[in-house]
Chain A
Amino acid sequence: MKLKFFLLFFICSLKIFPQNSINILVFPAISSTSFSALIPSNELQNNVRIFCVDVSPQGIPVVIKGTFEWKKVGSNVFLELGNFETNQFISKNFCNEELGTAEIPIKSFQSNQQLIDENLQIGVPSGVYRINLALYNFDGTILLAQDSEELSFLNPAQTLQIINPRPNLFYDPGNLLVEWTSIAGADDYFIKANTRSNPSQSLEEALNSGIPLVNNKSVGLINSVNLREILERELEPSSEVVIQVSANVPGPLGGNRIFSQIVNFNVVNPENPLVNVNELRLRNILRRLTSSQLLALIENNQLNLNEIRILKEDNSPMTIEELVNFLESNFENILRIEEE
């Protein structure tokens, strides 16, 4: 009998006094964010959700005390950046953007100015930050539960570079290896490729015009791929192609997408593999002359040599090949090139 009453009392007391807990959930492996997301201040509100807190029990007046610590890159020791205490509020689940609002106002906040300055000197969050949260009773005197979590800011955006194909070279349409540098923290790479309709189109314009040959196709966590295997449309012989690789680095509000440079290359035409030779010959011969705007336009791929008109003094037309042959055989008689 006594045992039954003890168990009943125990069960009732459990109900009357439910189990206290506080559990912090942080965004996995965020690469970067701004400092404002980390500062729990009444004054500086933000929209970026970095962490959330699961509180139990709910509906009771509680106070939360927290500390932020920082371990710099290359150090093993956590140092306190600052600490805060909220006013009393009715316990509920919340996320970082609610700290400092009317619902969960901050009673006090203290910081280590030197460390804050050091962080600002760097400019972006780097290293490892640790959040320690403690749940207290309504007047902040009795500790009910506590938890801590680390936020790792990995290498901020590295630059992504396409190694292959090389700009302006010629490649076989049947086979092309695309290679690029690694990005730490990336969880996926994407390829986008398109046809450039004419050299006066900028590379960015060419990449975004029309329906791409490869439309942001996910290739996984690798650094090279055979373009032939991922083509969604056919490569046309004699066409010029632009390609870009991007890396997805997860984070709040869409994470970060890192983009490589846009590289342009040409696809060989088996019927006339020499079509590029005239352009090479023209570049070489113009380089031998003093520099001109015409050479600059060709070298910057801003001219479609198939769309220019060449006229002799009597206004009869000349082809590119005829012009190149003429310039090569009469090089010493070329005086100058001027823009009209």
Chain B
Amino acid sequence: MKLYSKLLLTIVPIIIFIGSNNIATKKTYTAAVVTKVIQEVKHKSGNEDWQTTKPLTQLKTNDLLKTGQKSVAVLKYVDGSILRVRENSTIVILADKREKGLIKNTKIENGKLVFDVNKQSDDDKFIITTPTAVATIRGTSGLIEVLDDGSTLLLLQTGSIELESLGLNRQTSVVEAGTSSLINPDGNIITNELTEQQKQSLSNAYKTNEKTIKVQTNRGNFKIYYLDSE
């Protein structure tokens, strides 16, 4: 009995120590990889300087990514979910690897992104956070944008989302496909059907394949570079 107790007293702290170390060593996790860069995209880890982002740049927990004017970054989480970060946007990657499942949280500080999230298992979570809203996504695609006044605009294409506002009037709502939701800084959620213009914006935001249109004139030839569907 005494030996058993001594053993327990010795082993348990060791186990706890090892376990805590394991937990501690999981502070950074390779959550996503950048697969495409259009024009100016930069990323940053911790206190390091901003670096130019290239394809295969790995994004770990707490990494930042920002896009410049007319720039796009396509990144894929390790669960296959795709984010298309549009121009003039800044996001923070947050990922928490659990024993079962991976909690992914993308925080948008400004700008907009298109998300294409694979169906999440019960142990997984995919969250997108903005200054005014938290969206929990389970097998959904759409666009989320932080507007100039801090409001969040969500255009949902497929699937459904649990939406929670972060303002004074905290509200929660389940948003269905084919709708747009505006969450203002006060916390109010206003949901409507997608308008034609919003559908067009959504369709445009998906485009990340660089193509050209040639314009031939007698004063020279020009190329118009644009993004098309993949």
Contact = CB atoms under 8 A, between A and B. Distances in A.
Is any CB of A less than 8 Å from a CB of B in the complex? yes
Interface of A: 200, 292-294, 297, 302-304, 307-313, 318, 323, 326-327, 329-330, 332-340
29 contacts: A200-B218, A200-B219, A292-B222, A294-B215, A294-B217, A294-B222, A297-B217, A297-B219, A297-B220, A302-B219, A303-B217, A307-B218, A308-B217, A309-B214, A309-B215, A311-B214, A330-B226, A332-B201, A333-B204, A334-B224, A334-B225, A335-B38, A335-B225, A336-B70, A336-B225, A337-B225, A338-B225, A339-B222, A340-B223
B216 A334 contact: no
B220 A339 contact: yes
B3 to A, nearest CB: 73
B207 interface: yes
Contacts of B226: 330, 333-335
B220 A323 contact: no
Nearest to A340: B221
Contacts, number: 84
Interface in B157-188: none
B204 A293 contact: no
B7 to A, nearest CB: 66
Interface residues of B, number: 29
B212 interface: yes
Contacts of B205: 332
A340 B224 contact: no
Contacts of B24: none
A297 B215 CA distance: 13
Given A338-B222, A339-B222, A340-B223, A332 B213 contact: no
Nearest 6 Cβ contacts at the A-B interface: A333-B227, A340-B221, A335-B225, A309-B216, A311-B214, A308-B217
B212 A313 contact: yes
Interface string B47-80: 0000000000000000000000010000000000
B222 A293 contact: yes
B10 interface: no
Nearest to A286: B224
B interface secondary structure, majority: strand
Nearest to B217: A308
Given A318-B213, A323-B213, 18 more contacts: A200-B219, A292-B222, A293-B222, A307-B218, A310-B216, A311-B213, A311-B214, A312-B213, A329-B204, A330-B226, A330-B227, A332-B86, A332-B204, A333-B227, A335-B227, A337-B223, A337-B225, A340-B220
Nearest to A310: B215
Contacts of B212: 313
Contacts of B204: 329-330, 332-333
Interface centre among A308, A313, A335 (most CB of B within 10 A): A335
Contact of A308 (B70, B216, B224): B216
Interface centre among A292, A294, A327, A329 (most CB of B within 10 A): A294
Interface in B189-230: 200-201, 204-205, 207, 210-228
A329 B197 CA distance: 9
B223 A338 contact: yes
A104 B79 CA distance: 109
Contacts of A307: 217-218
Contacts of B214: 309-311
Contacts of A200: 218-219
Nearest to B224: A337
A335 B39 contact: yes
B116 interface: no
B216 A311 contact: yes
Interface string B115-148: 0000000000000000000000000000000000
Nearest to A327: B224
B213 to A, nearest CB: 6
Nearest to B201: A332
B108 to A, nearest CB: 17
